[in-house]
Structure 1
């Protein structure tokens, strides 16, 4: 029988592998450098890969997504973590009209490689603005891949 990992351990291990294999991978978002490591998913990343590749960023969903688009156009592969899926809706223009369409708008000449981690259903209480599950909605946006 294979190893048993929690979801958080699997995400953390995948991040380590991606960052070890590809120096263009950067990881940022709210709390990625926190001692608790975004529910343990980013533990140890900053210590291993440094503050240049793993860093916290101010709470502005639109700005975070804009940074990811710009970084992608400059050859980086962003792994961006948002603490709550609901608040990512503030960045839908950047996502839909920027990142998702870029490849098509410029005849396939450029890609914007971004992995966006959106957290749903974690923590002590969710309430109406922390509990939506919009993955199916995102899957209907041309140019996005939902995993």
Structure 2
């Protein structure tokens, strides 16, 4: 009885394996719709030239409804933001496509405060003044910020304010 059971189990495994193989072969044969499956026929030279010619033509042009003017996408370069650090603090500035600068934000360094009359732009030059806190011995630092090829740059200028 034991031999009989072992032979039946082996026969069942062989039948399942055969059925799975047949099912896989049937699916492969049915899946080739000329789309380049592994067992499709190779192209002859004329068919290769024709396929290359179709590929080089590109996709067909999109049809536009009549009466619609052609539209061109507008590409507006966004301003480039960068932070400029200087003795009296730091400022985030935008260098705009037209060459102007605009101060986005600023903050003083320790021991300084930024004067309220900031010229933030947009303009060829933005200005701000960093004033020392309690030390009247140090002079106010007036900064001009301009856009250069390397981005925004700050430089100290003489104080125009005579308090």
TM-score of the aligned structures, taking structure 1 as reference length = 0.20
TM-score of the aligned structures, taking structure 2 as reference length = 0.19
Larger helix percent? 1
Q: Quick check: which has more Rg, 1 or 2?
A: 2
Larger strand percent? 2
